[in-house]
C-alpha cells in the first residue's frame, strides 16, 4: 500500500474467553464473527482448550495476572466499544473479569458458558456463585441457554411461559437485559424462539429452525454478534435481532468437519 491518510478506525470489540483449538467456538468463533461483521476484534484469553469436533480433550486456565495484563493492555491503549465474555473457567477468573468490567464504560455481553454441547465442563461448579453475584450484575446483556438457566437459577424451563420466569430470575441478579435462548426447547418439539427482556420490554426473537447438527460455536457467535451491534451503536433490541439473524445464517451454513459436530459458518 502507498502512504496516505489513515483509514478511519472501525469499532473495537473485545472478547474475554477460552481458546478452541478446533476453531469452531470460543475466541476463534468470536474473532471470526467480528471480522465478518466489520469490527476490529481483540482477545483476552482466559483458558486454552485442546478441542476438536468430538469434544474438549483438555483445558488449562491462565493465571489471573495474565488475564489482567491482557485486558489492561487492550483497554487502556486501544479502547473498546463493547466487551463479550465467554468461558471463564474458575471462580477466580470470574471475579477478576467482573472487577475488570466494572472499570470499563463499554457495554458488556456476558455469555454464562457452563457446559459444552459434548457435556464438557467449561466452568467449575464452585464458580457459579461468583457468576450470579459478581458477573451478572456487571452485564448489559446476559445470554444463557436453558441448561445455563437451570444451573444458575434452578429453574427447569418447558415452554415460553417458563422462559419468562427464567428471564425474571436472571434479571434479579442485576444485569440490564436477559436474552434467554430457547433453542434447546425447540429440540424437544417447541419453537426456536429467544426471549429478550429488561423486565419492562419483552421481545421474542423467532427464526426458522434448521435440522443441521453442525452447530458448534452457536452461543459464542450470537453473543459476539450482539456485542458487535452494540459497538456499532445499535440499541440492545436491534443488536439482538441482528445477532439472531446472523447466527441463524451461520447455523444454516454449518458444515461437517472431523468425526463429530462441525462448526457454524461465520462467512456465509
Ligand atoms: N469451547 C469454548 C472455548 C467455548 O467458549 C465454548 C462455548 O462457549 C465451547 C467450547 C462450546 O461450544 P458448543 O457448545 O457450541 O459446542
* Predicted-complex ipTM score: 0.91
Domain extents in the chain: 12-252
Residue nearest to atom 5 of ligand 1 (CA): 26
Residue nearest to atom 2 of ligand 1 (CA): 26
pLDDT > 60? residue 247: yes
pLDDT band at 210 (very low <50, low <70, confident <90, very high): confident
pLDDT tens, residue by residue, 120-146: 899 999 999 999 999 999 999 999 999
C-beta 112 within 6 A of ligand 1: no
What is the three-class DSSP state of 10? coil
State the distance between the two ends of the chain, measured CA to CA, in whole angstroms.
28
Catalytic status, residue 181: yes
**What pTM did the predictor assign?**
0.96
One-letter-per-residue 3-state SS of 130-164: HHHHHHHHHCCEECCEHHHHHHHHCCCCCCHHHHH
Give pLDDT, residue 207: 87
Catalytic status, residue 218: yes
pLDDT tens, residue by residue, 143-171: 999 999 999 999 999 999 999 999 999 99
CATH number, domain 12-252:
3.40.1190.20
Give pLDDT, residue 117: 85
C-alpha to C-alpha distance for 158 and 182, rounded to whole angstroms: 10
Amino acid at each position: 500500500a502507498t502512504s496516505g491518510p489513515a483509514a478511519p478506525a472501525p469499532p473495537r470489540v473485545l472478547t474475554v474467553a477460552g481458546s478452541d483449538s478446533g476453531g469452531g467456538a470460543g475466541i476463534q468463533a468470536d474473532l471470526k464473527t467480528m471480522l465478518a461483521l466489520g469490527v476490529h476484534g481483540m482477545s483476552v484469553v482466559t483458558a486454552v482448550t485442546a478441542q476438536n469436533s468430538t469434544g474438549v480433550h483438555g483445558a488449562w486456565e491462565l493465571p489471573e495476572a495474565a488475564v489482567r495484563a491482557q485486558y489492561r493492555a487492550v483497554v487502556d491503549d486501544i479502547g473498546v466499544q463493547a466487551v463479550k465474555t465467554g468461558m471463564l473457567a474458575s471462580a477466580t477468573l470470574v471475579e477478576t473479569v467482573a472487577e475488570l468490567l466494572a472499570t470499563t464504560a463499554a457495554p458488556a455481553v456476558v455469555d454464562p458458558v457452563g457446559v459444552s454441547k459434548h457435556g464438557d465442563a467449561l466452568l467449575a461448579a464452585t464458580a457459579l456463585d461468583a457468576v450470579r453475584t459478581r458477573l451478572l450484575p456487571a452485564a448489559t446483556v446476559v445470554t444463557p441457554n436453558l441448561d445455563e438457566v437451570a444451573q444458575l437459577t434452578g429453574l427447569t424451563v418447558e415452554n415460553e411461559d417458563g422462559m419468562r420466569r427464567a428471564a425474571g430470575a436472571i434479571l434479579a441478579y442485576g444485569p440490564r437485559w436477559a436474552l434467554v435462548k430457547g433453542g434447546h426447547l425447540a429440540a424437544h418439539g417447541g419453537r426456536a424462539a429467544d426471549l429478550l427482556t429488561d423486565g419492562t420490554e419483552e421481545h421474542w426473537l423467532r427464526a426458522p429452525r434448521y435440522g443441521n447438527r453442525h452447530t458448534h460455536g452457536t452461543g459464542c457467535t450470537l453473543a459476539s454478534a450482539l456485542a458487535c451491534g452494540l459497538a456499532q451503536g445499535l440499541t440492545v433490541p436491534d443488536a439482538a435481532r441482528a445477532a439472531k439473524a446472523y447466527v441463524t445464517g451461520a447455523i444454516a451454513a454449518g458444515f461437517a468437519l472431523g468425526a463429530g459436530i462441525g462448526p457454524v459458518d461465520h462467512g456465509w
